[in-house]
Homo-oligomer: A and B are copies of this chain.
């Protein structure tokens, strides 16, 4: 039986206390993180193993979360494809955007172990610093989500360029998605070799697709990624926004955990994903409510999932920058003092 509650829950195995971590737990809502960021740019922070270690551990030390997540960004592996990836204030910028099949063929394949060695070094340092107190989660963006960024050249409201691209050039889209699946799968495998003990794949933008397009343009590549990084003892999680729209497609996916958003009812997800662990799903905005409301909302989730070994408490989306610290503390305490 795994020694960490988080790993046990991810494999739907018995354990005592429900584990909790939160997406973007090492981030701007933390004064200690903002202090580090006041001296270094976001991109520099992602490139310096010592600072990555510092900010990865901050939320563990401050709140006692049950898992750490590597401090990095889903766009890091794209920078060496021959695309400029920058983080001006606001959304990221990728230049030039991919708009034609020929743009895909121009992408520069590279040696991940070499070019992304700073991430792998960061992982080794973080593992050393954690002393196995809690497991370390590695991550990457899904192939489809990375395609969105590459084609839009950044964030988007309607993802019109992405959809124009996939509907106009389905073959080039499939070539790009295959290339990205190999990149992501191999990158995650290297993360495991460097010490991460769990994986999360962020299909942040998968939820902009209709279910039938999701089945065509995202799911097969998620599956390919999970095949490539499959490793005994390392649970794999898929995060996907608007999860409720896609639940019927996820029951047989080759991963252990599905991380659901707050719009997706836990009981519905539990019923439709009988063999998976569920992670989620408090609305990050509830953390702006009075503390008593936060605690009540957390308890409702805990009561609902009491009997399911496969449950990890998390938010339904990343924590927001202005979130009050005291409510995060109250949330963690509520989860940790809950008796199953």
Contacts and interface: CB of A to CB of B under 8 A. Distances in A.
Given A168-B290, A245-B244, A286-B163, A158 B211 contact: no
A288 interface: yes
A207 interface: yes
A212 B303 CA distance: 15
A167 B263 contact: no
Interface in A145-167: 158-160, 163-164, 167
A212 B281 CA distance: 13
Nearest to A264: B245
Contacts of A104: none
Contacts of A36: none
A262 interface: yes
Contact of A288 (B164, B209, B264): B164
Nearest to A159: B285
Contact of A263 (B163, B168, B245, B262): B245
Contacts of A209: 263
Interface string A258-275: 000011110010000000
A129 interface: no
Interface string A120-164: 000000000000000000000000000000000000001110011
What copy number does this chain have within its complex? 2
A320 B158 contact: yes
B263 A160 contact: no
A172 to B, nearest CB: 14
B288 A160 contact: yes
Interface in A237-257: 242, 244-245, 248
Contacts of A41: none
A210 interface: yes
B265 A211 contact: yes
A245 to B, nearest CB: 4
A322 interface: yes
Contact of A245 (B158, B245, B248): B245
Given A159-B285, A163-B289, A242-B263, 10 more contacts: A160-B320, A164-B288, A167-B288, A168-B288, A168-B289, A168-B293, A210-B262, A212-B300, A242-B242, A248-B268
Interface of A: 158-160, 163-164, 167-168, 207, 209-213, 242, 244-245, 248, 262-265, 268, 283-286, 288-290, 293, 300, 316, 320, 322
Per CB-CB distance, the 9 closest pairs between chain A and chain B, nearest first, are A167-B289, A163-B285, A244-B245, A245-B263, A164-B288, A210-B262, A244-B244, A211-B265, A167-B293
24 contacts: A158-B284, A158-B285, A160-B320, A160-B322, A163-B283, A163-B285, A163-B288, A163-B289, A164-B288, A167-B293, A168-B288, A168-B289, A207-B263, A210-B265, A210-B316, A211-B263, A211-B265, A212-B265, A244-B244, A245-B245, A245-B263, A245-B264, A245-B265, A248-B265
